[in-house]
Amino acid sequence: MVTIKQVSSKSDLKRFVKFPFSLYKGSPYWVPPIINDEMESFDKDKNPVFKTAEAQFFLAYKDGKLVGRVAAIINWLEVKEQGLKKMRFGWFDFVDDLEVSKALLDKVQEIGKENQLDYMEGPVGFSNLDKVGVLTEGFDQVGNMITWYNHPYYQSHYEKHGFTTEKKYSESKFLAANADPKLFEKANMLIKKRFGLRELNFKKSADIMPWVDKMFDLFNDSYAKLSSFVKITDIQKEYFKKKYIGFINPEYIKFVVDAEDNMVAFAIVMPSFSEALQKAKGKLFPFGIFHLLHARKHSKDAIFYLIGIHPKYQNKGVTAIIFNEFHHTFKKRGVVNCIRTPELEDNIAIQQMWKHFDPKVIRRRRTYVKNL
């Protein structure tokens, strides 16, 4: 018999966060989070997402042993402002036991019905900046800090419990050397001259901070048309600014502005921390922080996290400016591989943007949906 227990204490929450450490013990592909960082992201007093969303966390036990977890999430901005009566769920991990996965999903369904929601979708996070999708292909590829890894049996559990595919995502990889500068050097100069644009490069995180609010505003504008998009609030901007911007290598953040310093485009690339996080084993101290700091400057893999183009400038070649700047940065840093984070497979515009780099799909993932 499976028993579901709601997380109600700090010790429970720690069990929730640490469950995957046992589930994926020995896996060369799973990338562990930093435990304290994960704990903080679930802290209602520290993460401002809880001002517009709510979450309940559950643990599954069978024969006295912890065998699964799930977060049941309602984003009230999504429900009330967009009219999407969606019950979200994420951080969904379980042993290969249909009784366990069903008991956890039943709990999510119960909460959705209590709140008169129409359907449940997962795995997803609180917002568009969180992890998304269950892995369906690419189990032999090392994950990264901004995606979930899971065992191959997960997909069959969703389908056996009556879920159907909602969205499909792919992640690709290409050699930095594939980015032939001839493809965008000339276009870079023409686009800047035609529209009066200029690039902004940085060496210090402090120099980026005055621009970050404009970047998040542009993020909201450029991604607004995507399905299930939930805008970033002003309070969340401050949270992300303090928590993440200072940790990203400033050379990997590029902005494009017009003559009045209005932001036209941005790109955030992160050095891969996968190997460093595997070495850290969930802890910053005593040695984890050194592995992360080394990766920040010396990782040979670069992850394209976010790219945003103002709607007015989309399909006008502005990405040539961004790619030109990253070409110089990657050459200087000795970057070998470029990796794209999950992108909707039906987003043709984003696929076209990368076509000259000969990307190869290394992972696919999906979200699943079920009516309540």
pLDDT digits 0-9 by tens, 81-131: 888 999 999 999 999 999 999 999 999 999 999 999 999 999 999 987 789
Per-residue pLDDT tens for 346-366? 877 777 778 888 899 999 999
Overall pTM surpassing 0.85 (yes/no): yes
Average pLDDT over the chain, rounded to whole? 92
pLDDT of 208 over the 70 cut: yes
Distance of CA 66 to the CA centre of its chain: 27
CATH fold for domain 2-169: Aminopeptidase (3.40.630)
pLDDT of 200 over the 90 cut: yes
Same CATH topology for 2-169 and 175-371: the answer is yes
Nearest to 59 by CA among 97, 98, 86, 94: 94
pLDDT at residue number 362? 96
Exposed/middle/buried for residue 223 (C-beta within 10 Å: 0-12, 13-18, 19+): middle
pLDDT at residue number 134? 98
Q: What average pLDDT score do residues 245-251 get?
A: 86
Strands (E) in 241-350, as ranges, are 253-257, 263-271, 301-309, 337-340, 343-344
pLDDT of 232 over the 90 cut: no
pLDDT band at 238 (very low <50, low <70, confident <90, very high): confident
Dihedral in degrees, nearest 10, Cα atoms 171, 174, 176, 177: -170
Q: What average pLDDT score do residues 55-81 get?
A: 96
Q: What average pLDDT score do residues 310-327 get?
A: 90
Alpha-carbon distance of 32 to 53, in angstroms, equals 25
The two structure tokens encoding residue 303: 């992850």
Alpha-carbon distance of 314 to 347, in angstroms, equals 14
pLDDT of 285 over the 80 cut: yes
C-beta separation of 254 from 325 below 8 A = yes
- 228 vs 197, more confident: 197
pLDDT at residue number 99? 98
Q: Cis peptide before 286, with omega less than 30 degrees from 0?
A: yes
Per-residue pLDDT tens for 132-178? 999 999 999 999 988 999 999 999 999 999 999 999 999 999 998 88
The two structure tokens encoding residue 344: 């909707």
pLDDT band at 185 (very low <50, low <70, confident <90, very high): confident
pLDDT band at 228 (very low <50, low <70, confident <90, very high): low
Beta strands 134-137; 2-6: pairing state: unpaired
Question: What are the domain boundaries of the chain?
Answer: 2-169, 175-371
CATH fold for domain 175-371: Aminopeptidase (3.40.630)
β-bridge partners, 196: none
Kindly state the helix (H) or strand (E) to which residue 61 belongs, with its residue range: strand 53-62
pLDDT band at 227 (very low <50, low <70, confident <90, very high): low
Question: Percentage of residues in the chain with pLDDT exceeding 70?
Answer: 99
